[in-house]
Structure 1
Amino acid sequence: MITFFADKKLRFLDTTLRDGEQTPGVSLTPEQKLKIASALSDMGIHTIEAGSAMASEGEREAVKLISEAGLRSECCTYSRAKHGDIDIAADCGADSIHLVVPVSDLHITKKLGKTRDEVFKMAIDAVRYAKERGLIVELSGEDASRADPSFLRNLFREGVRNGADRLCFCDTVGLLTPEKTAELIPEFCLAPLSIHCHNDLGLGLANTIAALKSGASCAHVTVNGLGERAGNTALEELVMSLEKLYSYDTGISKEKIYPLSVLVSKLTKVPLATNKPIVGEMAFTHESGIHAHGLLRDATTYEPMSPETVGRKRRIILGKHSGTASVKAALSELGYEPDDQQLKEIVSRIKKLGDKGIKVTDADVMAVADAVMMLECKPVIDLKQFTIVSGSNSIPTASVTMVINGVEVTGASTGTGPVDAALKVLEQSVAFAGDIRLEEYHVDAISGGADAMVDVTVKLRKDGRILTSRGARTDIVEASVEAVVSGMNRLLREENENRSRNTD
C-alpha cells in the first residue's frame, strides 16, 4: 500500500451547504441544512461551510442554527472581501469565514472591474477586519489555477502576515491536471493550505489527491459531488480513496457515508447517478453469473471494498446474465428451496424475462418460483377499486377499497400529485396488517409517444425486509398501484408459508 499521508493530519471542509447548494434547482431550508450539518459533524467532518450568510435572511438563519447547535465541527460561512459580509458572519455566530477573493486577471478585470492593486488592498483589509471580529480566516484565491503565481503568492504571504489562519487554492472551473497541481501547490504552502477543486473535466478527485500529496492539508468536498456545473470533489470518493488506496486513516465514520448520501439526495432532490462510485445504486450490485458466482465464494473477487464499510449492503439482481448460483442464493433469501430440476427451470424463465428487457424484481422471482414449484400464492390484498381526482383547481386525492385478509378497507388520501396520493392511501390502508413503507420509486418509459408504456419499479420495506416489485401500464398511476400492491401482497404472505418443493 502507498502511504504518502502517514505523517500528515488531513482535514475536510465540507461545502455541500454552500457550493453544493449552488447546484441549479437546489434550495435548502435552514432546518434541512441543520439536519445535514448534524450528520456531517457526527461522521467527523472538521469544518462545515454552512452557506453564504450575506445572501439572504434564510441563509443567516441557517448559519445561526448550525453555529448554536453544539456540533463538533467548526461552523464556517462564505464571505466576500467586504466589511458588511464579515459583520454578518460574526453576528451569526460563525467560527470562521471562507474569505473568497478573485485572483486571476480574468476575474479581477472582467468580473470586478478592478485592478490587481485594488483587489490586493481589499483582501488584506478584509483579513485584518475579520481578525478584529474574532473570526478564523481562510483566505481563498478564486480562479487560482489561472492566476499569475507571483501575484497569488504575494497575496497569500501578506494575508498570512496580517492574520490569515489558513489559505485555499481554488480550481474554480476545473482546469488543473494532477501534474500541474503537483507543480503549483508547493509554492503556496505558506500556511495550512486547502485545495478546492471542481469537476468540469472529471479530474476533481485526482487533482485533490495530487494537491494533498504535494503539501495541501485540507480538502474542500461536497456530499455526492454536488456543486455548480459538473460539481465538486465528492466527499465519499475522496475519503474511500484515501482509506483504501493510500492506507490513510481519515478519522471519518465511513459507515455513515451512504446514509448521509441518501439524506442529501432526498433533501436536495438531486438523484444519484446509477453508476456513481461508492453511493450509486449499482456500486455494489451484481448480475453477471461469473461475477455473482465469484462473489458468493469470496466477495473480494469483484468488489474493491465491503459494502458494509460505507453503510451499504450487497445486491445480486437477477436477469439474463444470472447463473445458477446467484439465482439459488436469491431464492434462499426469499425463503424458497427448489430441487435441482426446479432450480434449472426457474433459472431458464428468469433468463427469458431478462432477454425481453424486463427488470427482474423480487416479486417477479417469487412469481416464477411459485409457478415452477406449483405453490399456491393466495393474494392477501384484493384491490376492488381505486379512484384518482386531480386537476388544476383541486388537490390530488386518491381513494381505494381493498379486501385485506378478508377485511374490507376503504381509505382516502391527498398528495403532491396523483401518484403520491395513490401510494399514500395504499400505505395507510394496509397499516393494520403490517407497517409497509415505500423506500424507493423509479419510473421508465418503455416506448415513446403520448401512449407510452411506463415501467414502475418500487422498493418496499416491512420489518427490516426489503422487496422490489414492478408494474407496467400506459397509465403511470395504474402502473404505480400495480407495482405497490404486488409487492405488498408478497410482503404480507404468512411468514410460515411453505415454500419448499411440492412433492405431491
Structure 2
Amino acid sequence: MYGKNIETLKKENMNLADKIYIFDTTLRDGEQAPGVALTVDEKIQIAQKLDKLGVDKIEAGFPVSSNGERKAAKELNSLGLNATVLGLARSVQKDIDAVLDSGLDYIHTFIGTSPLHRDYKLKMSKEKVIETAVESVEYAKDHGLTVEFSAEDATRTEHDYLFDVYDAVVDAGADFLNVPDTVGVLIPVITRELITNLKERYTTPISVHFHNDFGLATANTLTAIECGANQAHVTINGMGERTGNASLEEIIVALHAAYNIDLDIDTTQLYSLSEFVGRITGIKMPVNKPIVGANAFAHESGIHVHGVLNNALTYEPISPELVGHSRRIVLGKHTGANAVKAKLEHYNIDLTEKQFQTVFNQIKALGDKGKTVTDDDLRAIAITEISSAKETPIKLEGLGILSGAVVSPTATVKLNINGKLKETSCTGVGPVDAAINAIRELIQDTMDIELEEYNLEAITGGTDALAEVFVISSDGEGNKSTGRATNDDVIMASILAVLDSINKILLMEKN
C-alpha cells in the first residue's frame, strides 16, 4: 500500500475500538426498500445465513407494525442463533410492548430530534422530545431489555441539542447510542468531527447507521470506525430506504482487507448471501457493485488480462475466493490474444495458428458490434472453425434472401459442389426454409437430404445476438449426421449448420 502501512496509520491516526460489532438491519431497514416484502420464512432463511456468516446482531423487524412482523421476530428469537436478535420500536410504550411480546431481549428505540422532525412530524418541543426519549429508555430498561437508542435524523440536529438528548438517555440507562444519518447528508470530514466528539464525551458504545443518498454510506461508516465507533449498521447489498444503507459486504471486506481488522466473519459466504437476497427480493445487483457485482472480478482489456493471468493481484485488490466469488475473463473488442488462448486452453481446444487468428478476428468483430463474447460463444466459434477446416465437398459461395409482407420468402443459394458452381432460387415458409429448399434442389443429384431436427439458440443477448444452430440430417439411406454452426445471422448459421451435416454424411459415404 502507498505510504505508511496500515498498522502505523492505525496507531497514529485512528482510535479503533477494541471490538467492532456488525449490526445487520436487512430484515428491517433493508425490507423498507421500495417493492421489497419478505415473508416470515424468507426472513428466517436470511437470518440463518447471516448467523452462519458471523454477524453480531440481527434486527428482525418492527414488531408493532403488523402481526407478520411480530411473528417473524418471535420465530427468529426461537432459532437459537449465535447473533443477538432485536426489534425496532418508536419511543412509544406500545411499540416497546410489542418487542417484549416477541420475546426479544434487545430493543432499538428511536425518536426524531432534528427541527424538521420535531416541528413537522412529531409536533413536539425540544423538552418533550427529551422527556419522551427518557421515558422509553427507562421503560425498556425496567423490563430487562438491552437498549440501543437512536436520535433519528441526528446529522441534521443542532449540535448542542443532540448532546442534550444523548446525555439524557445515557443517564436513563441506554446501552448503545446510535447516530443515524437518516437522509444520507454526512460527508466524512463532518463524520470525523461528530464521532470524535461523541467518543470524547461518552463511555457508552457508539453505533452508526448511515444512508447512501450521496453515495457516501460506506465511506462515512469507515470514517466513524476510524474515530472509535463501536458498531456499524449495515444491510446486505446496501438495501434500504431510497438509495439504501452502508453495504454489509463492502464494510466487512474493507475492514478485513484494507484495515486488517479481524471481525471473525466468514467472508467466503458473502457472494452467495448477496445472490440469495438479490434473488428473493427481486433487486438485481448492478454489475459494477463492489465485492459482489458480476464485474467485480471480471477483466476484458488485453493489458489487464495479461497482467491477471500472470499474477491476479496486478489488477485485483483481493482474490475473488475471499468472498466466494470467481474471476471472469470477458472476451470482446478490448481482448488480447493471451486471454483467448488461455480460455481455449482451459477448455482443451487446440487450434492451428491460422484457425486461432480466424477465431480471434471473429471475437474482435463481435466486440466492435457491441457484443460481449461468453465462454459458450467462444467454444461455439472455435468448434465451428475446427469443423470448417475438415474436408468439405460442398461449400457455400453465395446467398441472397428476399422476404417481405407481400412476397413469398425466396432464397438464392450458390454452392461449390466438388469444384462445380451451382445456383438456384427457391421459396419457403420462411427465409431459412427457402434456403434449405434451395440446398436440397442443388444437391438432388448427389443425395436426398432430410432435416430431422433443427435447434436455434441465441448465445448472446440483444436483437443482434450471436446464434448457434444445431441440426440432425439424414440421407434416406440410413446415414445420419449432426451439424453445427455459429453466426450473427440466423439464416447464415442455419445454412452453414445444414451444410456441415451434409458434408459429414458425404464423407461417411466416401469412407
Using structure 2 for the length normalisation, give the TM-score. 0.73
2:154 matches 1:144:
yes
Aligned to 2:177, which of 167, 172, 181? 167
Q: For the residues of structure 2 that align with 1:321 and 1:353, how far apart are their CA atoms? A: 11
Superposed, which structure 2 residues align to 1:119-138 within 5 Å? 119-138=129-148
Aligned to 1:238, which of 227, 243, 251? 251
Superposed, which structure 2 residues align to 1:18-37 within 5 Å? 18-37=28-47
Task: Please tell me whether the aligned partners of residues 330 and 372 of structure 2 are also in contact (alpha carbons under 8 angstroms).
Answer: no
Q: For the residues of structure 1 that align with 2:208 and 2:336, how far apart are their CA atoms? A: 46
Map of 2:427 onto structure 1:
none
- Local SS of the residue matching 1:54: helix
Task: Please tell me whether the aligned partners of residues 301 and 334 of structure 2 are also in contact (alpha carbons under 8 angstroms).
Answer: yes
Q: Residues 455 and 221 from structure 1, CA distance in 2 versus in 1: closer, same or farther, beyond 3 angstroms?
A: farther
- Local SS of the residue matching 1:220: strand
Greater C-alpha radius of gyration: 2
Q: For the residues of structure 2 that align with 1:301 and 1:77, how far apart are their CA atoms? A: 45
- Local SS of the residue matching 2:6: coil
2:351 matches 1:351:
no
Alignment deviations for residues 421-450 of structure 1 (CA, whole Å, 9 cap, x no partner): xxxxxxxxxxxxxxxxxxxx9996x4xxxx
Q: For the residues of structure 2 that align with 1:208 and 1:132, how far apart are their CA atoms? A: 32
Offset of 1:241 from its aligned partner? 1.2
Q: For the residues of structure 1 that align with 2:38 and 2:151, how far apart are their CA atoms? A: 27
Offset of 1:323 from its aligned partner? 1.2
Q: For the residues of structure 2 that align with 1:10 and 1:251, how far apart are their CA atoms? A: 10
- Local SS of the residue matching 1:71: coil
Q: Residues 290 and 67 from structure 1, CA distance in 2 versus in 1: closer, same or farther, beyond 3 angstroms?
A: same
Q: Residues 443 and 232 from structure 1, CA distance in 2 versus in 1: closer, same or farther, beyond 3 angstroms?
A: farther
Q: For the residues of structure 2 that align with 1:6 and 1:192, how far apart are their CA atoms? A: 12
Q: Residues 134 and 65 from structure 1, CA distance in 2 versus in 1: closer, same or farther, beyond 3 angstroms?
A: same
Using structure 1 for the length normalisation, give the TM-score. 0.74
Offset of 1:339 from its aligned partner? 2.9
Superposed, which structure 2 residues align to 1:123-272 within 5 Å? 123-189=133-199, 190=202, 191-272=204-285
Alignment deviations for residues 315-338 of structure 1 (CA, whole Å, 9 cap, x no partner): 101111111111111112223122
- Local SS of the residue matching 1:42: helix
Offset of 1:6 from its aligned partner? 6.3
Map of 1:285 onto structure 2:
298
Q: Residues 146 and 455 from structure 1, CA distance in 2 versus in 1: closer, same or farther, beyond 3 angstroms?
A: farther
Map of 1:51 onto structure 2:
61
Superposed, which structure 2 residues align to 1:367-382 within 5 Å? 367-374=380-387
- Local SS of the residue matching 2:244: coil
Offset of 1:249 from its aligned partner? 1.4
Task: Please tell me whether the aligned partners of residues 249 and 270 of structure 2 are also in contact (alpha carbons under 8 angstroms).
Answer: yes
Q: Residues 442 and 304 from structure 1, CA distance in 2 versus in 1: closer, same or farther, beyond 3 angstroms?
A: farther
Q: Residues 201 and 271 from structure 1, CA distance in 2 versus in 1: closer, same or farther, beyond 3 angstroms?
A: same
Superposed, which structure 2 residues align to 1:45-84 within 5 Å? 45-84=55-94
Q: For the residues of structure 2 that align with 1:56 and 1:121, how far apart are their CA atoms? A: 27
Aligned to 2:6, which of 2, 12, 29? 2
Q: For the residues of structure 2 that align with 1:70 and 1:187, how far apart are their CA atoms? A: 37
Task: Please tell me whether the aligned partners of residues 156 and 188 of structure 1 are also in contact (alpha carbons under 8 angstroms).
Answer: no
Map of 1:463 onto structure 2:
none
Q: For the residues of structure 1 that align with 2:221 and 2:459, how far apart are their CA atoms? A: 34
Q: Which amino acid aligns with 1:145?
A: T
Q: For the residues of structure 2 that align with 1:238 and 1:345, how far apart are their CA atoms? A: 46
Map of 1:329 onto structure 2:
342
Q: For the residues of structure 1 that align with 2:53 and 2:137, how far apart are their CA atoms? A: 31
Task: Please tell me whether the aligned partners of residues 373 and 460 of structure 2 are also in contact (alpha carbons under 8 angstroms).
Answer: no
Q: Which amino acid aligns with 2:373?
A: V
Map of 1:110 onto structure 2:
120
Q: For the residues of structure 2 that align with 1:119 and 1:455, how far apart are their CA atoms? A: 61
Q: For the residues of structure 2 that align with 1:471 and 1:249, how far apart are their CA atoms? A: 51
Superposed, which structure 2 residues align to 1:343-492 within 5 Å? 343-374=356-387, 446=462, 453=463
Task: Please tell me whether the aligned partners of residues 153 and 187 of structure 1 are also in contact (alpha carbons under 8 angstroms).
Answer: no
Name the % identity. Answer: 43
Q: For the residues of structure 2 that align with 1:129 and 1:443, how far apart are their CA atoms? A: 61
Q: Which amino acid aligns with 1:2?
A: I
Map of 1:497 onto structure 2:
none
Task: Please tell me whether the aligned partners of residues 16 and 229 of structure 2 are also in contact (alpha carbons under 8 angstroms).
Answer: no
Q: For the residues of structure 2 that align with 1:37 and 1:208, how far apart are their CA atoms? A: 22
Task: Please tell me whether the aligned partners of residues 40 and 68 of structure 2 are also in contact (alpha carbons under 8 angstroms).
Answer: yes
Alignment deviations for residues 461-497 of structure 1 (CA, whole Å, 9 cap, x no partner): xxxxxxxxx99999xxxxxxx9xxx9xxxxxxxxxxx
- Local SS of the residue matching 1:50: strand
Alignment deviations for residues 256-314 of structure 1 (CA, whole Å, 9 cap, x no partner): 11011001101111000111111111111111111111111000011011000000110
Offset of 1:117 from its aligned partner? 1.1
Aligned to 1:312, which of 310, 317, 325? 325
Tell me the number of residue pairs that the alignment of Structure 1 and Structure 2 aligns.
395
Offset of 1:362 from its aligned partner? 2.2
- Local SS of the residue matching 2:65: coil
Q: Residues 105 and 267 from structure 1, CA distance in 2 versus in 1: closer, same or farther, beyond 3 angstroms?
A: same
Task: Please tell me whether the aligned partners of residues 371 and 460 of structure 2 are also in contact (alpha carbons under 8 angstroms).
Answer: no
Offset of 1:456 from its aligned partner? 10
Aligned to 2:111, which of 80, 97, 101? 101
Q: Which amino acid aligns with 2:378?
A: V
Q: Residues 337 and 442 from structure 1, CA distance in 2 versus in 1: closer, same or farther, beyond 3 angstroms?
A: closer
Offset of 1:7 from its aligned partner? 5.9
